[in-house]
Amino acid sequence: MRNKIKTIAFDADDTLWVNELYFKEAEGRFCALLEDYLPPQSAYQELFNTEMKNLPLYGYGIKGVILCMIETITRVTNGTAQLQLINQTLEMGHELLQKPIELLPGVKETLEQLYGKYQLVMATKGDLLDQERKLKLSGLQDYFHHIEIMSNKQVANYQRLLKQLDCSPQNFLMLGNSVKSDVLPVLALEAFAGHIPYHTTWMHEQHHDKVEHPNLITLGNIADIINHLD
């Protein structure tokens, strides 16, 4: 691998900076809002069902999650909830959209070492404006040759990205925390993937089967990639 890679793409949420923890916290507050109606685990399951139903329309990102929370409140309370619950949910959305950016350990140092040697790309899902905001706050913007905010991370999305970068799959390495989004579609294209597991993963992104593939490396943390390249 080390001789071939020219372009390294980084997932953003939970690869470069903390993200899922903020969602988990918001989900906890959402379940607490509904405590008079449902046990927390059921409230979470109802929310997840709403999210999966609306994913083809809403796509990924905070605004869609908040709309799904509101829809779930109206459904599980049979329209009897106080409007106050809706307000508190909107408020949570505003807070999520203003969370500080906390870089994960080793991120800045790793980008610093790779910068100039490889074409560095950020490739992430989510709300367009929100991801731009986070990138700006991260201070990492200048390391990246290209920023791609994608509506999804399936094989066709990566194909378009590679075409746009004019990069052949065998010269492309994707690093990220999601086997489903950052690893499997990349391996399907015969490009390289580096999986950096994060301690918490959204149910929708979970992948339980072990993946083994000659083009896949698993990293303890982002800085480990240096040893695989040098």
**Which residues form the interface with a copy of itself (CB under 8 A)?**
54, 57-59, 61, 63-64, 66-67, 70-71, 73-74, 77, 79-84, 86-87, 90, 93-94, 97-98, 127-130, 132, 146, 149-152, 164
Cβ proximity to a copy of itself: between 94 and 117 the closer is: 94
Cβ proximity to a copy of itself: between 99 and 195 the closer is: 99
How far, in Å, CA of 110 to CA of 18, rounded? 17
Cβ proximity to a copy of itself: between 79 and 220 the closer is: 79
> Closest Cα partner for 160 from 190, 175, 152, 119?
152
Cβ proximity to a copy of itself: between 124 and 178 the closer is: 124
- Least separation in angstroms between CB 74 and a copy of itself: 5
- Least separation in angstroms between CB 139 and a copy of itself: 18
- Least separation in angstroms between CB 73 and a copy of itself: 8
Cβ proximity to a copy of itself: between 63 and 207 the closer is: 63
- Least separation in angstroms between CB 84 and a copy of itself: 6
- Least separation in angstroms between CB 129 and a copy of itself: 3
Cβ proximity to a copy of itself: between 146 and 228 the closer is: 146
Residues 6+ apart with CB under 8 A from 163: none
- Least separation in angstroms between CB 90 and a copy of itself: 5
Q: Hey, what are 150's tokens?
A: 């994608």
How far, in Å, CA of 197 to CA of 208, rounded? 12
Per the DSSP assignment, residues forming a β-bridge with 174 are 9, 193
Cβ proximity to a copy of itself: between 4 and 53 the closer is: 53
- Least separation in angstroms between CB 9 and a copy of itself: 16
